[in-house]
Chain A
């Protein structure tokens, strides 16, 4: 599947880039979250004046999913997660695990509600 250089260099893949150095070079979040986990500001200010931190705090006055935060920051999801971990560590935000799970796939009540909602749109 991979192994030839062409894999890396076609148009849609984007350019090769160095690992992001945001967050002092850390590349893994310390807090567990997924794309749909919800981020919400606690009201406690971040001690950091990092503009990205300020932006997250402003965005997440009402709960917003991790993937939406990433889109608004224009940062890759993984980089966003590291940044969010920092904000959790300093108490400026909390992250609510999303209630998404594979068990929903067989949850008829949920699927019926979803269908009902879609039929009303």
Chain B
């Protein structure tokens, strides 16, 4: 097909916002998106989940995972950044390759009252080689741990950034996004050096 779209179309990139249920993913997407965050769903089939015995009884049935997403346009450079909040139920979204394919990087939100809920997302990104940072979403009644304590608890590599944030606050959330891009840039520079 001969379209000249490359000249007029923006470069589209995506960043994933992951973490356990209730950690602030939807809030983060809402704080950073320029559009009212949208919500949609994807079908996960029994086959894609590898459940053979189930597919026999519930023929070709599917279940759905809901996710929300937002968008940020960088008009000066003709870039559109999409922010995808991964479904809280990580054992479903892990089976959905399309969501993470081609992602620039990821933000793993963590709540210090239940850090273990961040493990699944961290493992996933580590295994896929997707660069990520950890943003500790500071909830009012949470003990104020130091980033290094969180790093130790999560067994994170020393280069993975850990930042504190308030996902409800646009400036705070935007600063997390910038930190992620700075980290990706530093990593890309090291890579090509």
Contact = CB atoms under 8 A, between A and B. Distances in A.
Contacts of A20: 43
B42 A118 contact: no
Most chain B CB within 10 A, of A20, A35, A112, A120, is at A35
A120 B76 CA distance: 10
Given A12-B21, A36-B14, A63-B9, A101 B102 contact: yes
Contacts of A19: 60-62
Given A77-B40, A108-B185, A114-B79, A99 B14 contact: no
A65 B82 contact: yes
A116 interface: yes
B105 interface: yes
A79 B74 CA distance: 30
Given A115-B178, A116-B77, A38 B9 contact: yes
Interface residues of B, number: 62
B54 A67 contact: no
Contacts, number: 163
A16 B12 contact: no
B40 A76 contact: yes
Interface string B35-59: 0001111110000011101100010
9 contacts: A34-B101, A77-B41, A94-B3, A96-B9, A98-B12, A105-B184, A115-B181, A117-B77, A118-B177
Interface residues of A, number: 57
B140 interface: no
Interface stretch (B63-71, B111-119, B142-150): B63-71
B152 interface: no
A64 B81 CA distance: 14
A112 B185 contact: yes
Most chain A CB within 10 A, of B21, B182, B185, is at B185
A105 B104 contact: yes
A8 B61 CA distance: 10
B92 interface: yes
A71 B84 CA distance: 13
A100 B11 CA distance: 7
Contact of B182 (A17, A68, A75, A115): A115
